[in-house]
């Protein structure tokens, strides 16, 4: 991998990771602290997403390239997109409760690839995840 590529590491629950892998043209969604000034960021701004299992053994278990990145509100998500996210409809409704006007980041992904063995992290990640250059990843893994 190019050492200057930008990657993001996001935590998610194991059952959500498994569900995401079963989706055709999977889409990862997550609420963000603040929406960027631009409504859409080009995929080259973030090249790859790594999946960190929260409530697990501090490991990155898979990754994917990112096709598109968009910022939308939950009420603007179309049914076609909902069928491709990492949650069931019930989980999505609970996740969005009382946050209908807050922006979500949507990352449309390429095929998800499992890491075998997983990359063990030196410490746990926050729910915000971590954005870094691929050359910096070695600082965080054992």
Q: What pLDDT digit, counting tens, does each position of 40-94 carry? A: 444 447 889 999 988 777 899 999 999 988 888 888 888 888 889 998 889 999 9
Q: What is the pLDDT of residue 43?
A: 44
Q: What is the pLDDT of residue 39?
A: 52
Q: What is the pLDDT of residue 114?
A: 95
Kind of pairing between the strands at 40-41 and 59-72: antiparallel
What one-character-per-residue DSSP string does 50-67 give?
Answer: EEEETTSSSEEEEEEEEE
Could you say which DSSP state residue 102 is in? Answer: S
Max distance between CA atoms of the chain, in angstroms, equals 41
Q: Is the pLDDT of residue 108 over 80?
A: yes
CB distance 43 to 67 below 8 Å:
yes
CATH number for region 6-139: 2.30.130.30
CB distance 51 to 61 below 8 Å:
yes
Phi-psi region of 78 (alpha: psi -120 to 50; beta: other; left: phi over 0): beta
Give the span between the Cα atoms of 70 and 137, in whole angstroms.
25
């Amino acid at each position: 991998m190019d050492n200057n590529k930008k990657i993001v590491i996001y935590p998610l629950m194991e059952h959500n990771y498994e569900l995401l892998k079963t989706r055709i043209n999977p889409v990862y969604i997550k609420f963000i602290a603040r929406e960027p000034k631009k409504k859409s960021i080009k995929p080259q701004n973030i090249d790859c997403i790594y999946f960190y299992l929260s409530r697990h053994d501090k490991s990155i278990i898979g990754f994917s390239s990112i096709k598109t990145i968009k910022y939308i509100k939950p009420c603007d998500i179309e049914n076609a997109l909902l069928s491709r996210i990492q949650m069931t409809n019930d989980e999505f409704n609970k996740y969005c409760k009382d946050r209908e006007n807050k922006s979500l980041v949507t990352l449309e992904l390429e095929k998800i690839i499992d890491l075998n063995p997983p990359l063990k992290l030196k410490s746990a990640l926050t729910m915000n995840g971590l954005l870094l250059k691929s050359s910096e990843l070695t600082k965080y893994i054992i």
